[in-house]
Every structure is written in C-alpha cells, then in structure tokens.
C-alpha cells in the first residue's frame, strides 16, 4: 500500500528550510534550488508544492503570521488572569518584534515578501489584509482602557492604534538592521506606552 504523504507537513518543512536560509543569508538571493538543498529534497519535489518562489514566500508568510499570532496569544495567556488593556497591547507589540531566532527569521521572510508586494497588486492585497483587523483590535483595547479610566478618552482612537502598529513595525526593522537591540526596542515601546497611558507600568515577566 503506498505511503500516505502529509502534504501540509511537507509544505511546512519546505517553509522551515526557507526560514533557516532567511536567518543566515537573507531571502533575495535564495532560489528554489537552494531551498531544496536546505530541505534535503529534490527541486522537482519542491516544485510539486510550490511552482514559484513567490508561491513559497506567500505560504511562508501565512505560516509565519499564524506562528506570530500564536506567540502573541501565549504572551497574553502568560499575563495575570485579567490583564489590563495596556498589558495586552504591550504583549501584542512585543510579539511583533524579533526577540528570538524564530521571530527574526519570520520577519526576514516577511520583509522579502513585502518588497515584492510593493510592485505586485495581488501580493500587496495579501500583505495588507491583516492590518485593519489588528488596528481594530488595538483600538478596542484603547477604548476599553478609556472606559476604565486608564486612558484619556481622546486617545482611544484608530489613529493611536495605527501609531502603535507603526512603532512596532519600525522597531522590528531597526532590530533587524542592528540599530537597536531587542532590549532597547522594548524600552522604546514602554516609553511610548507611558506617553499614551500617562504612567509607568512594570513590564510583564519575560519581557
């Protein structure tokens, strides 16, 4: 009886090979042949799952986003039973930063995808898809904070939510470039939250 192949698991193995290459040499110069060699399978086998590098980047980006969502959820779950909106926002923003090898590789793959998406309407639509949902979630947390008297009502806006997202994205890029280290990025994030909420809160355990 032929062996049943788990195609989704195989796609994830190929995606993981791309992440490893991204973490050591970037993505721009990496070909499907390079990914095949890293994964220990033939080029023909990779092309059975991904016809082009863009298809692989798209799958990898979706997988990375799912892993990032899982990582952020774990950060929130690690907080106290009823975390404040500020604590939730900090956990989310910290989860968007490259604080370990996995998140660093994910952001490198994402950067390669976004550079292509700028000139490709189909790819850019995928890249934009999650931002409104994240903005709305952040804005909901800000409104909850305002209702609880933890934030001035005039600051519980979608604009403030987008500023937090933009700050996190910018800090992530600076960490990748070596302009800031992870600890400095977290300190700058905390400073912005101080400015937003008007007070100092202790960082959650484990950053």
DSSP string, 142-188: HHHHHHTTSS-GGG-SHHHHHHHHHHHHHHHHHHHHTSS-HHHHHHH
Residue 202 has pLDDT above 50, yes or no: no
Residue keyed to tokens 């910290």? 94
Predicted confidence band at 185 (pLDDT cuts at 50, 70, 90)? very high
The predicted model scores a pTM of 0.78
Q: Compute the residue count for the chain.
A: 207
The mean pLDDT value for 49-67 works out to: 84
User: Could you report the per-residue pLDDT of 70-83, keeping only the tens digit for each?
Assistant: 888 888 888 877 89
Residue 36 has pLDDT above 70, yes or no: yes
Yes or no: say if 94 and 167 are a contact pair by the CB < 8 Å rule.
Answer: no
Residue 96 has pLDDT above 80, yes or no: yes
Q: How far apart are CA 173 and CA 104, in angstroms?
A: 10
Predicted confidence band at 49 (pLDDT cuts at 50, 70, 90)? very high
Q: How far apart are CA 72 and CA 88, in angstroms?
A: 9
186's CB contacts (< 8 A; 6+ apart) are 94, 97, 99, 203, 207
Predicted confidence band at 110 (pLDDT cuts at 50, 70, 90)? confident
Per-residue pLDDT, 204: 46
């Amino acid at each position: 009886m032929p062996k049943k192949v788990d195609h989704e698991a195989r796609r994830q193995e190929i995606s993981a090979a791309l992440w490893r290459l991204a973490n050591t040499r970037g993505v721009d110069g990496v070909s499907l042949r390079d990914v095949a060699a890293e994964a220990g399978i033939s080029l023909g086998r990779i092309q059975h799952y991904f016809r082009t590098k863009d298809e692989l980047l798209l799958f990898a980006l979706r997988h990375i986003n799912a892993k990032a969502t899982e990582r952020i959820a774990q950060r929130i779950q690690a907080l106290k039973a009823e975390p404040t909106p500020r604590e939730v926002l900090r956990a989310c923003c910290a989860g968007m930063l490259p604080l370990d090898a996995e998140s660093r590789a994910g952001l490198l793959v994402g950067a390669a995808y976004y550079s292509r998406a700028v000139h490709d309407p189909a790819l850019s639509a995928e890249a934009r898809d999650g931002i409104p949902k994240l903005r709305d979630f952040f804005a909901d947390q800000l409104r909850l904070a305002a209702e609880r008297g933890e934030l001035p009502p005039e600051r519980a806006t979608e604009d403030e939510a987008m500023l937090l997202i933009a700050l996190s994205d910018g800090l992530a890029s600076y960490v990748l470039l070596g302009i800031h280290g992870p600890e400095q990025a977290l300190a700058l994030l905390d400073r912005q939250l101080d400015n937003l909420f008007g007070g100092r809160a202790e960082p959650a355990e484990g950053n």
